[in-house]
Amino acid sequence: MIDQVLSLLVLLSLLVACAEAPPPPAESPPAGLAALYATDFLVGAALGGRVIRDEDSLSRALVVREYSTITPENVMKWEKIQPTADTYNWGPADDYVAFGEEHDLFIVGHTLVWHSQLSDYVKQITDPGAMRTALRQHIGAVAGRYAGRIDGWDVVNEALNDDGTYRESEFYRVLGEEYLTLAFRYAAEAAPDAQLYYNDYNMWNGEKRDGAIRMIEKIRADGGRVDGIGMQGHYGISGPTIDTIEAAIEAYAAAGLPVMFTELDVTVLPNPWDLEGAEVSQNFENAPDMNPYPESLPDSVQTALAIRYADLFRLFHRHRDKIERVTFWGTTDASSWLNGWPIRGRTNYPLLFDRKYRPKPAYDSVAAVAATPR
């Protein structure tokens, strides 16, 4: 009887102790990439139309959890936002900006002046005065509408050839290199508080790199304000080399140009034509051997992709004093533009999240770089 009473007393004392003990701390959710790199640079993603229209809630949640900056893939390009001289389509761009504001993200506008996805009425302009007017009206209307709300603009996109010479765009044919200075002047007038960038692909290429620096020095000498350079990061598993990208970062920084990596993705598919960058006019007929992973990515390629991303982010971290932003071009593999370029119908795997919104080994490798003691 005594033993039973003692056992009961012990049990009661344990229950009292458990009742008085504080509950175990709730397990914190894992930090997103923006938090992991918060002291280094902004990390973000480009948003497609479905995400902006709130037709992909999982991607929206992923963006809010992982990133601190956003860029629109298409809704702000000239033909989308001003299809005719007298018509503006503000709805999608308004939704994009509202999403960024709701979640306190650094909002990038993309892009004010680009030769591609350009409205037909602009292509028909041959008079220099009329082209200056079109530039001023478009930039003033678009950048002006979001003044104080958009934090940075890709003012001019892809104005150079790979050898550093000027691309023969509609703007260049009518105005020559003057259009570049005008674009940055008009943008500064319309959105004086926004950062203003030049954005292009293959910016690691030595000739193009040097041409970009010369071009921006000329724009600045003529009174245009350029606050940084966007290096589109459309890379492959094996190239360009880390040393080549690093040399470009250092050259831009030496020229007084902070660097943004604006369109980062890594293709895992074969590229027999040695194509580089993002020239959207390039397209080729499909062939079975050009789509080697239609269902899933082999473990060996997943590992190679993870290693490539780790190498890139080690480079970015090493130059965090020169780099202000790293933006992935898309949210998941399913939404990547590389599924249809340069060959339609292929299945690519270039981003950190798979088609089911799950982080890939590449994500883990990028997170590990941030967590590595230095």
Among 12-21, 167-176, 282-291, 341-350, the minimum mean pLDDT is found in 12-21
Name 192's Cβ contacts closer than 8 Å, sequence gap at least 6.
147
In the chain, the N- to C-terminal Cα span, in Å, equals: 64
* Alpha-carbon gap, residue 267 to 282, rounded angstroms: 16
In angstroms, rounded to a whole number, what is the distance separating the alpha carbons of residues 56 and 47? 10
pLDDT reported for residue 98:
98
Of 209, 108, 226, nearest in space to 156 by CA? 226
Tell me, rounded to whole angstroms, the distance of Cα 55 from its chain centroid.
20
Q: Select the more confidently predicted residue: 277 or 68.
A: 68
* Residue 72 reports pLDDT greater than 90: yes
In this structure, the strands spanning 259-267 and 323-328 are parallel
The structure tokens 């990133």 sit at 67
What's the whole-number mean pLDDT along residues 139-150?
98
Cβ-contact 278, 234 below 8 angstroms: yes
Closest C-alpha to 232, from 367, 352, 365, 330: 330
Q: Where are the beta strands (DSSP E) in the chain?
A: 42-47, 69-72, 106-114, 152-157, 195-200, 228-231, 234-236, 259-267, 323-328
Which is the CATH superfamily of the domain at 35-371?
Glycosidases (3.20.20.80)
- Looking up tokens 């798979």 gives 354
Average pLDDT score over residue span 135-143? 98
pLDDT of 304 above 70: yes
Q: Give me the mean pLDDT over the 30-39 stretch.
A: 92
Q: What is the pLDDT of residues 193-234, one digit of tens each?
A: 999 999 999 999 999 999 999 999 999 999 999 999 999 999
Average pLDDT value for the chain: 91
| DSSP conformation letters of 318-338 | HTTTTEEEEEESSSSGGG-GG
**3-class secondary structure for 139-154?**
HHHHHHHCCCCCCEEE
pLDDT over 90 for what percent of the chain? 83
Other beta carbons within 10 Å of 10: 10
What percentage of the chain exceeds 70 in pLDDT?
Answer: 87
Give how far Cα 230 sits from Cα of 74, 255, 353, Å.
17, 14, 23
| Residues forming the active site | 158, 263
pLDDT band at 326 (very low <50, low <70, confident <90, very high): very high
Query: Hey, what are 319's tokens?
Result: 């130059």
pLDDT of residue 284: 63
Record the tokens describing residue 326, joined without a space.
Answer: 């790293």
Specify the amino acid at residue 89.
N
Give me the mean pLDDT over the 347-373 stretch: 95
Tens of pLDDT, residue by residue over 85-101, are: 999 999 999 999 999 99
pLDDT at position 6: 35
**Alpha carbon distance 134, 151 (integer Å):** 24
Q: Which helix (H) or strand (E) holds 304?
A: helix 299-318
Check residue 80 and give its pLDDT.
98
Q: How many CB atoms lie within 10 A of CB 33?
A: 23
Model pLDDT, residue 149? 98
pLDDT at 288: 74
Burial class (CB in 10 A: 0-12, 13-18, 19+), 14: exposed
What local confidence, expressed as pLDDT, does residue 372 receive?
Answer: 82
DSSP 90-147: -HHHHHHHHHHHHTTPEEEEEEEEESSS--HHHHT---HHHHHHHHHHHHHHHHHHTT
Q: What integer is the mean pLDDT of 325-330? A: 98
Higher pLDDT, 279 or 105: 105
Amino acid at 323: I
- The Cα 120–Cα 118 span in angstroms is 6
Give the model's pLDDT for residue 371: 85
For the chain, which residues make up each domain, given as ranges? 35-371
pLDDT in tens, 277-301: 666 556 666 577 888 999 999 999 9
3-state secondary structure 246-260: HHHHHHHHHCCCCEE
**Tokens standing for 327?**
């933006």
Residue 9: its pLDDT value, please? 39
